[in-house]
Amino acid sequence: MQKRIFSGIQPSGVLHLGNYLGAIKNWVALQEKYDPIFCVVDLHAITVPQKPEELRQKTLEVAKTYLAAGIDPEKSLIFVQSHVPEHAELAWILNTITKIPELERMTQFKDKSKAFRQNLNAGLFNYPVLMAADILLYDANLVPVGEDQLQHVEIARTLARRFNSLFGETFVVPEPFVVKEGMRIMGLDDPKKKMSKSAASEYNYISLTDTPEKIREKIKKAVTDSGKEIRYSADKPAIKNLINIYALLDNAKPKEIVESYHGKGYAEFKKDLAEVVVGFLEPFQEKYNEIEDREVLRILEEGKSKAKKMAGEKMEKVREKVGLL
């Protein structure tokens, strides 16, 4: 039997090159070898305030991004988390076997609770439990994520094992699946922090919807390191990050990029990099714009009924094990 993979992205903020290189690009490759499920996790998105109309729009946009990037609905199951109420139901049950200190340790919670001190809601705290429910409902073997999500996958593993030992074999214990390159694309304005949709400045990221002019401007402005040479080294984090982006989009090795820029300077390198990014994003955007909302809705509807069936069967077992009448 093929191994099942499960992953998801929140419909909040803009999708950027870090999301594509760190997540979606790998999913497209993985869908060939595995049995893949890709979810738009709207219930996770509302752990920080969202405007209802925007949330609806973003949910559609994320699904459309999956499709435009090459996730094939014939091979992959694509659906919206809130369309399958079993996610919330399982999350509730898992909450009852999750220890508060386990959630207090989560780096993402600690970071977000600093940023949203005014609105520290229980959803933000229980976020990893909902993520565990997403994964465990479908017996996923592998969870392809960026480095920042490893701690959350670890909680999912703990909860699967704990449930199994309390109530008997029920869940597959999932493994994280990290792809080394692109694991962490850094901010263009600050190579010490990851490229992020919540960054203060738009010069931190390249949005998947940026125009060619904007992309060229952003790459031109990207910070560089001292020195002149194109070198791939930890003490040159800015240039290293740009080389990573170049290599991933060009399907080359960083070493090959470095060799082809031997004796050349930052300006020339950046100019070419901008064209590589434009060369990727232009056709991507064309595809994106060709996909009609109606078509996305149809695919999500189909995904919903398949996912509901799988989740429904699993939840019946869970309810029985727990002793719900």
Instruction: Please report, as a single letter, which amino acid is at residue 76.
Output: S
Q: What Cα–Cα distance (Å) separates residue 168 from each residue in 140, 171, 230, 315?
A: 18, 9, 56, 14
State the binding partner of 58 from ligand AMP, ligand TRP, none, CB within 5 to 8 A by kind: none
The answer to whether residue 41 forms part of the interface with ligand TRP (CB under 6 A) is yes
> Which positions from 148 through 167 interact with ligand TRP, judged by CB under 6 A?
149, 152
Measured between alpha carbons, how far is 113 from 120 in angstroms, rounded to an integer? Answer: 6
The answer to whether residue 303 forms part of the interface with ligand AMP (CB under 6 A) is no
Instruction: Please report, as a single letter, which amino acid is at residue 59.
Output: T
Residue 170 near residue 321, CB atoms below 8 Å: yes
The answer to whether residue 36 forms part of the interface with ligand AMP (CB under 6 A) is no
What is the contact mask toward ligand TRP in residues 97 to 136, using x (rule: CB under 6 A)?
A: ----------------------------------x--xx-
Please, what is the minimum distance in Å from the beta carbon of residue 50 to ligand AMP?
13
Instruction: Please report, as a single letter, which amino acid is at residue 121.
Output: N
Query: In this chain, which of 9, 84, 124, 215 binds ligand AMP, going by CB under 6 A?
Result: 9
Measured between alpha carbons, how far is 196 from 182 in angstroms, rounded to an integer? Answer: 14
The one segment of 3-11, 30-38, 114-122, 233-241 that binds ligand TRP by CB under 6 A: 3-11
- 32: three-class secondary structure by DSSP: coil
Measured between alpha carbons, how far is 59 from 293 in angstroms, rounded to an integer? Answer: 11
Residue 222 near residue 188, CB atoms below 8 Å: yes
In the bound state with ligand TRP, the residue whose beta carbon lies nearer, of 182 and 222, is 182
> Which positions from 162 through 221 interact with ligand AMP, judged by CB under 6 A?
182-185, 194-195, 197
DSSP state of 3: P
Q: What is the dihedral of CA 68, 71, 73, 78, to 10 degrees?
A: -100
The answer to whether residue 6 forms part of the interface with ligand TRP (CB under 6 A) is yes
- Give the tokens for residue 282: 């232009």
State the binding partner of 177 from ligand TRP, ligand AMP, none, CB within 5 to 8 A by kind: none
List interacting residues with ligand AMP (CB under 6 A): 9-10, 18-19, 22-23, 145-146, 148-149, 182-185, 194-195, 197
List interacting residues with ligand TRP (CB under 6 A): 6-8, 10, 41, 44, 131, 134-135, 143, 145, 149, 152
